[in-house]
Homo-oligomer: A and B are copies of this chain.
């Protein structure tokens, strides 16, 4: 089974992923949780677990949508009922799920609309701008940074009807993907012609092309296929003032690369309705393998060598000691020794040469080959981690992730600073955490760091995490990392982002917003401060 065979999953509100695929917390993990003081909490909020799946309740008033949108889209493409609105509320961060469980109804759109084409998106933006109604684009709905929660009443623009895969150009190896195409659907459509996009973020089962583009997503195979923004060669954006269409050539010296101004703009500068992406032939070979290094430091040095001098595998991941210990149900995988695990994956044609060359570099750097079993285990479980979060939350654990990136020379200090900040903040709250870390995206000059935090919930886990997250964000800034490598800014990172790029950059983006969105209806408060 490969990526293109995965089904299109309709996310169930309130819990991650395909509801048919439930996950139980392994007994060993339950024991570890007890060590952290995790206790099942009885006093869930009004909603209870998975509240977003539940039907009408006390807050279940109907929303409202202007008549003009009914006329434009047809009544069947405008929903104002509670279930539709609730299904488009917030995303899948742990605070989002905790709020669901607490019955918190904030962040709900007034209506959900389903335009069917770029022109309909254009026209609806014009209408909403005229009426001063805020809109937030909704593609896969998988944001973990509050990217779907603006700071004023709004209508959710669900892009699922923009689901066409077209203009497959086998000479240029490009294809046009509309914003509502799910990652899985894109792969299935490309597979029919023998191609792949190669973009497999952990949210793959739920996320969509528009979200990838609007948040500068990066997938698990980024070492081989690049980041999503590197795959995009053209972008089409609808704004309240008209269409922006960019990308006449792969690269150009015609002024700044303005594709990069709209990629990552998170709905604040328009709604990306389609992208022209680079596609590649489907790999005919695939293999994944594990390696052991004595320490994170040694492992980091090894993957840096691959990133800088090559060859690069398609997938390259390094877990630190803590994550390695937690991930490996069976410590015998490391031959009974302590240490850290590296996963390398190869996709393509004639991968044997590259695989041998990578093995040589890893062995020279002190690595011990663990064979294909750890690689296959990782591959099979690559989209499973988020599934585990819901039952862990059920058990009373607080589980969340955060990520950053920086230059290689700064990474060890950056990792230590973030870990210390989390340990200190949560320790002071009486809930000492387990902090796991891995590197899963590498560049010649640096890499990402991805942290997973597990501890006991306090009585107010949303506030508890907020405090820890603020401490981590401050540490990231002080250590010179970026506030996010691939999750995006949303509302959660808005202030840290402003700090990172500085006031003139924020003013510049607000000026662009004023041009394309003079009434300020596009995702107010997301990415950029809400004006007026």
Contact = CB atoms under 8 A, between A and B. Distances in A.
Contacts of A243: 502, 504
A294 B507 CA distance: 55
Interface string A141-182: 000000000000000000000000000010111100000000
Given A233-B445, A504-B242, A256 B409 contact: no
A406 B255 contact: no
Interface in A364-417: 404-410
Measured as residues with beta carbon below 8 angstroms from the partner, the interface class of chain A is: 35 or more
A510 to B, nearest CB: 8
A444 interface: yes
A216 interface: yes
Contacts of A258: 261, 501, 505, 508-509
Contact of A515 (B233, B404, B500, B504): B504
A249 interface: yes
A484 interface: yes
A364 to B, nearest CB: 14
Contact of A253 (B407, B488, B508): B488
Contact of A485 (B251, B489, B507, B527): B251
A258 B215 CA distance: 14
A497 interface: yes
A487 interface: yes
A425 interface: no
A28 interface: no
Contact of A218 (B172, B253, B265): B253
Of A254, A281, A505, which is in contact with the most chain B CB atoms at under 10 Å from its CB?
A254
A509 B255 contact: yes
Contacts of A481: 248-249
A239 interface: yes
A258 to B, nearest CB: 5
15 contacts: A169-B407, A173-B308, A215-B253, A216-B252, A233-B407, A249-B481, A250-B446, A251-B405, A253-B484, A254-B488, A254-B493, A255-B266, A256-B260, A256-B264, A281-B309
Nearest to A477: B248
A252 B512 contact: no
Contact of A408 (B171, B241, B281, B404): B171
A326 interface: no
Contacts of A516: 504, 508
Interface in A431-454: 441, 443-447
A18 interface: no
A264 B171 CA distance: 29
A426 interface: no
Contacts of A251: 218, 227, 229, 405, 441, 443, 485
A75 to B, nearest CB: 32
The 5 closest A-B pairs by CB, nearest first: A250-B443, A260-B260, A511-B511, A249-B405, A252-B482
A242 B242 CA distance: 32
Interface in A308-365: 308-309
A38 B18 CA distance: 74
